[in-house]
Amino acid sequence: MNYTKEQILERCNQFTKNTLMETLKIEYIDAGEDFLTAKMPVNPAVHQPMGLLHGGASVALAESVGSAASFFFIDPKEQEVRGIEISANHLKSIREGYVFGTARIIHKGRSIHLWEIKITDEEGNLISLCKLTNMVLDRKKS
């Protein structure tokens, strides 16, 4: 990555405007050479009917952070990222507080990025374990 931590976080938080990430109140909070972390509040807006964090909200957090992380390994003028597969194992439930999604690169190829995203609670307990595959595409010339 050729960006500072501050540049990464500012850019990620900027491009969430008017998106699902803004609706879910996802905020990017930490970044490093091989990871990106975002947090999301757990409240009734992301609950399923039993009052627990909805698995779909967890997956939305995972795909958001993994896709954003891939963006920093490409040339955005020439390439773009598309999520092509995501899997999730929901291991623990949570009713309130925050969850944190941390994406760590497993494979960084020219055309495929593979990420592991761990979603944890405020105490560091593992809530969900996700795997995201992103495809890197050349931008179409107009």
Give DSSP secondary structure letters for 48-84.
Answer: -TTSSB-HHHHHHHHHHHHHHHHHTTS-TTTEEEEEE
Given the residues 63, 80, 85, 122, the one annotated as active site = 63
Residue 93: per-residue pLDDT: 97
Structural domains counted in the chain: 1
132 token code pair: 């995201």
CATH of the domain at 126: 3.10.129.10
List the domain range (segments joined by +) for residue 128: 5-138
Tell me, what's the pLDDT at 1? 53
Residues with pLDDT less than 70, the chain: 1, 142
Residue 96 annotated among the catalytic residues of the structure: no
pLDDT of residue 105: 96
